[in-house]
Structure 1
Amino acid sequence: MKPEKLSDLKKILAGLSATELTEICLRLAKYKKENKELLTYLLFDVQEPMKYAEDVKIFLIADFETMQKHYFYSTKSLRKIIRLMNRYAKYTGSKQVEIELAIWFCTNYLIYVDLKTTHKPLQALLNRQIEKIVKLIDKLHEDLQFDYQKEFDVLIINAEKWAKWINKSQYL
């Protein structure tokens, strides 16, 4: 079964009444957790995406704090955190929220992860997030670029200081 095009769906939805639209939204939210989370964001948090980002940080910090120190389990936990972080950032559709969460992740990575490990997948998680930040900074408005570039520079300097396998000349 093939889904219809968005333009066709939009035409049909435009002709429906408010009660019919409400029923459709509730039915969508009923069957999938992501739909319910997106609907919750759109109804309650769309006005303040940065406050939503702070709520996401508060929600995800518990995963950092309860993360096991063994490199295998910490890698699994970090992948879960990244997956959730990306899903919540996708709801906002804002590059600023995305970069805010990515910088927050990298900062907490440096605090909670055993940086003496040579486990490549664990190291790759931080490297991919740093590369993502570099790409996102270019997509922001100039004023925001300046602010986030300063935060990023501090992050890279700290990362090189604490994790010997990070080379700041690669990113700055």
Structure 2
Amino acid sequence: METASAKELRDELKHRSESELRDIVLRLSRFKKENKELLSYLLFQSHNEDDYIATIKTLIDEKLLEINTSNGYYAKKAVRRILRETKKFVRYSGSKETEVALLIHFCRSLQETHPRLMNVKVIKDIVERQVVLIKVRISTLHEDLQHDFEEEINSIDY
């Protein structure tokens, strides 16, 4: 089966009625958890980005506290899993400000909750790559936001 392009899908959706579109969206939400999460974000959380960011920050903090630090391998896997989930939530939002805020929070929280893990080379490299990514994203934001985020990123030791 060949997948249609985004333009073809957009053109086809123009010809569908409201009830057909509703049925398509509901059917799509049944198949993947990510589809359901994205739909939940779009319907319930997209109108208040600040609450969404606060919710994700709380989730990041909870996940970081659950990390098994007895073994570097398990700690590395847990950090990568949390980062992957964070980036998934960033994709739902699509906002660069949200991305910067959540990644800064991830790096700072990891540093504060598990300072010993910052001595593990793999985890330190993960944080360094995120800081570089954050700096690139900050450069595309408005000047006032750039200044605020620059101060926050400078508070992270890596």
- TM-score, L = length of structure 2: 0.93
- 1:1-172 to 2 correspondence within 5 Å? 1-69=1-69, 70-115=71-116, 118-155=119-156, 159=157, 166=158
Q: How far, CA to CA, are the matches of 2:25 and 2:117 in structure 1?
A: 49
The answer on whether the counterparts of 1:71 and 1:117 sit within 8 Å (CA) in structure 2 is: no
Give the CA deviation at 1:121: 1.3
| Deviation sequence 1:90-109 (CA, Å, 0-9, x none) | 01000000000011011111
The structure-2 alpha-carbon separation of the partners of 1:4 and 1:122, relative to structure 1 and needing over 3 Å to count, comes to same
For the aligned residue pairs, the C-alpha RMSD in angstroms reads 1.4
Give the CA deviation at 1:44: 0.6
Q: How far, CA to CA, are the matches of 1:71 and 1:127 in structure 2?
A: 17
The structure-2 alpha-carbon separation of the partners of 1:117 and 1:147, relative to structure 1 and needing over 3 Å to count, comes to closer
Consecutive unaligned residues in structure 1, runs of 5 or more: 160-165, 167-172
Amino acid at match of 2:82: I
Q: What is residue 162 of structure 1 aligned with on the other side?
A: none
| Deviation sequence 1:3-47 (CA, Å, 0-9, x none) | 112111111111111111011001111000110000000101111
Give the CA deviation at 1:114: 4.3
| Percent sequence identity over aligned pairs | 32
- TM-score, L = length of structure 1: 0.86
The answer on whether the counterparts of 1:74 and 1:113 sit within 8 Å (CA) in structure 2 is: no
| Deviation sequence 1:66-116 (CA, Å, 0-9, x none) | 111132111111001000000000010000000000110111111122436
